[in-house]
Structure 1
């Protein structure tokens, strides 16, 4: 195939597969915890790491990972200990991260619109061998955490108080989820961009939930959807010369709409079937005159 003959597309497709797997794997826990927009906030903070990487002439992916991890830990601590002013502190962290990234890129002398756009919305042509190495290592860490600790992460995502009673280190696991989300953001930023990565962490999970019931099946379905849309979007960007990040996110939303439309009649049939079973199980009421002897 022509698409596999270009080295930059080989790197892009590998990165797309890793993003398609890792983003929903972390996103399912954020959705369960009602923190769907956390990835968006981490993306804002990670831009400061990108700018710092350019300023210090180091790999922006690794620097973005470091800054995003620090930012995600700060977010989790604010969430855990913040009171009425917690939302304001988070807003300042988000917007400060975005502004800091733009300023640092400008100070580095490489803050052109092309460089900024490639990190904000993704750019397949700029994925280097060094980026692929970093993405592979970071994706390995994400999968190790999300698969190896799936039972513990499921427990804290469903009910933190119950998990604490059972003896789980809830605070440590919450921080681990935040760190894993930060790593996922930096894994995905070269493909879908920092501003769109949150959608890839949330939309495939929401789509899978339309047709699944159990957590494990939802996990598998969300990863399958994530890989499908990232590969399809990457191929479409190659053949049609369209932005990869926007294409991938729009495909994910299209899958969500399609599955929602398919799930509605199925849910209705299930409800009718359940109602019919209940009617068969309920004994027929006796009339008051049944016991009267004529």
Structure 2
């Protein structure tokens, strides 16, 4: 079994997350449903808080990582979100506040009942490279394998449903099943990112690098590739700065991602001025 130092574990986890987040984010952006990541991340917190609570109540659950409870709740939350979007066809955005508020409400109850230390919740909420364990690395690698395998296998279907929902349906693509599968992949993505970026900030890592790349990309593949480059820059620089200054990893990653977005916007605006 390979053993890594806490810094190496954090870097490995961060690099993998920087690869996967823009892939999921690119499809969410094209679908115009990127805000869904926020609702799923908050229901993931519900799962984690439930796992921590169960661990304090019974020794049967104390050996089970709360991350696995988070993944289970994330999948259920993703499926419920898709179900609500189907029920409210003309008001699909209602699914997000319903799931998000449910997640926050239940999390508040479970956290207050668990009565655990501040530091544990801090790493879950805002991320911490020093809290990544080898178990987390194995979990991240397993979920990454599943996400990449499914995306490669169903890439054409994902593209078709994302760009033209009605055409995909008339072409015989099982749109509902594809949406459910993608929702589960989003749940996997959020669950694997918790330890590095944090629940409250993972939505930003999914969206901001892709929002940056869309300013420069001329195709969907370019959108995804540039998104990965910007995400990796944000993750690596953010982790380095967070370690040097002893501040929240997720917060620093998001600030760096926003800084890169600002630079790209300034560059594009300056280019437009010069052309005129």
- The alpha-carbon deviation at position 268 of structure 1 amounts to 6.7
CA distance in 2, matches of 1:14, 1:154: 29
CA distance in 2, matches of 1:267, 1:164: 40
Where does 1:1-294 land on structure 2 (aligned, <5 Å)?
7-56=5-54, 57=62, 58-83=64-89, 90-110=96-116, 112-266=117-271
Aligned-residue CA RMSD (Å):
2.0
Hey, what's the Cα distance between the residues in 1 that align with 2:108 and 2:9?
A: 27
Determine if contact 2:40/2:99 at 8 Å carries over to the other structure.
no
d(CA) in 1 for partners of 2:273, 2:27: 28
What's the TM-score once normalised by structure 1's chain length?
0.84
The CA distance in 2 between the partners of 1:258 and 1:102, in whole Å, is: 38
Aligned-pair distance for 1:147? 3.2
Q: Work out the CA distance in 2 between the residues paired with 1:88 and 1:43.
A: 16
Give unpaired runs (5+ residues) of structure 2.
Answer: 55-61
Distance 1:216 1:113, change over 3 A: same
The number of equivalent residue pairs is: 266
TM-score normalized by the length of structure 2: 0.90
Contact 1:26–1:146 under 8 Å retained in 2 = no
Whole-angstrom CA distance in 2 between matches of 1:123 and 1:19: 14
CA distance in 2, matches of 1:138, 1:20: 14
CA contact (8 A) 2:85 2:95 kept: no
CA–CA separation in structure 2 for the residues paired with 1:153 and 1:261: 32
Cα distance in 2 for partners of 1:246, 1:176 equals 30
User: Counterpart of 2:184 in 1: which secondary structure?
Assistant: helix
Rounded Cα–Cα distance in structure 1 between residues aligned with 2:98 and 2:259? 33
Q: CA-to-partner distance for each residue in 1:142-166, whole Å, 9 max, x for gaps?
A: 2222333222111111110011111
Q: Distance in 1 between matches of 2:158 and 2:206?
A: 16
TM-aligned CA distance change 1:135 to 1:102, over 3 Å: farther
Larger Rg: 1
Describe the superposition over 1:93-115 as per-residue Cα deviations: whole angstroms up to 9, x where unpaired. 212212212322333342x2222
